[in-house]
Structure formats: C-alpha cells, structure tokens
Structure 1
Amino acid sequence: MTESLDAPRLAAWRAYIEASQRLFTRLEEDLRADSALSFADYHVLVLLSEAPGQRLRMGELASRLVFSPSRLTYQISTMRRRGLVAREACPDDRRGSEAVLTAAGLLALREAAPHHLRSVRAHLMDDLDDAEVACLTRIFERLGRRLRADRDASTPHPDN
C-alpha cells in the first residue's frame, strides 16, 4: 500500500488543488467575458503567434497544449469555424497537417491579451514577491521537465 502524505504535504497538495482550480476558473471566466475566447482558444492563439510562420504541426501543437490528438482536432475545428485558425497540409509532408494562425485569430489575440494580462496580474502575479515568483518558476519548470520525460519514456516509439 502507498504511504500517505504527512500533514504538511497533504495541506500543500490540497491548497494547490483548490487554489489552482479557482485560479483557472477565474482566468477562464475573465477571458470569456472580455473576449469570448476560452482559455484553450487563447493558448492555441499564443502558441501559433509565437511559432515560425505562425504555424505548427498538429502533433507538436497537441504536445505543447497537453491535448490528445482528438481533443486538438475538436479544438482546431471549432476555432476554424470562427475564422481564428486554418488547417493546412504540411508543405514538406503532405500526410501531416498544420494549424495556421489567421489574421482574425491574430486580431482576437491582440485584443484579448491586455485583458488577460490584467486578469493574470490581479489574480496571481501581483500577490507574489520576486522570491515567490522565482520559487514557483523553479518548481514548475522542474515538474514540467520530469512529467515530459515520464510521458516520453512511456510513449511507444514506431521503431520499437
């Protein structure tokens, strides 16, 4: 049987779960109210805006969003219908496809970004001092690296 968490770790775990859920919900509510974009819409738009040529292969985008391929397909389809992104065949590999940021998607991102930044500051960043920001960054970068490595180690490779 797995050993239970000691009281401080249990308290940290519960505080993290409750606060992160409340934070995500609040950021999502603010984003929708200010821009009619969901958090997932916004994240897709940000990643595409930062990518070379404002396009990413669907597999790379799914990996960066931590979405399953079917969830990404659904997400991109709904955003396509709203004119925020396009889906195109990959120029180098016609079997693959890419999500491409449209002019309307870039405009939606530019209009939403100041409101979203204000929400992030108000509900998280303005409460933290520099040491706390540095600590959170170290913690979540380390966890992210480990979780990506765990995922990569458990993903079957085609040549295995």
Structure 2
Amino acid sequence: MTQPRWLDQTEMAAWRAFLTTSHLLERRIEEQLKATAGLTHPQYEILVRLAAAPGRRLRMTELAEGVVASKSALTYQVGRLEEAGLVERTTCPDDDRGVLAVLTPAGAELLEKVAPGHLEIVREYLIDRLSREELRAMTSAMRKTEAALRSG
C-alpha cells in the first residue's frame, strides 16, 4: 500500500481557504434567496438555467448535468418549484420518454425579482474582490478540477 501524499503548508492553506470560503459564500447566498423568495440555491440555479435555455425549457437530464444534481435530487427540487407554480414538467415532443422542465411566467417574474440581490452578493463577496487576472486563474483552476471530477 502506498503512503498518502499529505498536503504541504501551501496546499493545505489553499484547500482550507477554498473550503471555508465556499461554505461561507454558499451560506450567504442561501440566506438571501430564502429571505427574498423562499428559494434554495439549487432551486435558484434551476430557474436561472431554464431562463437561459432556448424556449425556457430543458430536458431533465440536461438540467441535472448543468446544476450538478442527481436525478432524484433534481426531481425533488423541480417538484417543489412545480408546486409553487414556477416550473412545469411536460413530455418531450420528439421523445415520449423524455421530460422537459419549463420555466413558467411566474418563475421568470420571480427570477427577475431575486436575481439582483443574488448578483449583489456574488459581486460583493467574490467577483469584485478579485482582479481580472485572479478571476481568469480561478476559472482555469476550477475548470481543470471540474473536468477531472466529471471524467472520473
């Protein structure tokens, strides 16, 4: 059995900074979304992805990949959004087995109301604190990690 490669001081500092910051930012975003619209962060991300999709609709499988959720977790979140009248589910016109999630007018209206506050938090605590060079480096690093996680 090979010995683990323990993190050195620089690696541990990077890991802890990432972990702490991601948890704190996620908590701040959740608080804002709950207070403004009673939404969870995953529910907000579902609405955003649907709003950006052609026809404001996506197959559930595409949506799950985009919001990085299991099928069951996505089904649960979409179900809550459907109960609130923010999303509808329909069958795919070209595939009876496929299910589409569709943003409703009420969902689009709520998204317009909530998005500015969400953007304010993302800017205040992340984007506006980093230089363009730091943003590019962060994007590059996170995409490398995402690719490794998606392929592994």
TM range (shorter): over 0.9
2:6 aligns with one of 4, 7, 12 = 4
Paired amino acid for 2:6: S
Q: Which runs of 5+ in 1 are unaligned?
A: 151-160
The secondary structure found in structure 2 opposite 1:40 is helix
Query: Is 117-126 or 99-108 further displaced after alignment?
Result: 117-126
For residues 101 and 58 of structure 1, what CA distance do their matches in structure 2 show? 12
CA deviation profile, 1:37-82 (whole Å, cap 9, x unmatched): 2211110001001111111111111111111111111111111000
Distance 1:134 1:67 in 2: 26
Aligned to 2:53: 51
Q: Determine the structure 2 residue equivalent to 1:73.
A: 75
Equivalent residue of 1:95, what SS?
strand
Q: Give the TM-score of the pair, scaled to structure 2.
A: 0.93
User: What's the counterpart of residue 98 of structure 2?
Assistant: 96
Alignment of 1:115-130 (within 5 A): 115-130=117-132
Q: Which residue of 2 aligns with 1:158?
A: none
CA distance in 1, matches of 2:149, 2:41: 22
The alignment's C-alpha RMSD in Å is 1.1
**Identity, % of aligned pairs?**
44
Aligned to 2:144: 142
How many residue pairs get aligned? The number is 150
Partner SS for 1:83? coil
Instruction: Output the amino acid matched with 1:62.
Output: A
Deviation at 1:124, TM superposition (A): 1.2
Q: Which amino acid aligns with 2:91?
A: A
- What are the residue-to-residue correspondences of 1:28-47 with 2, within 5 Å? 28-47=30-49
What amino acid is aligned across from residue 66 of structure 1 in structure 2?
Answer: V
Q: State the 4+ residue runs in structure 1 displaced beyond 4 angstroms.
A: none
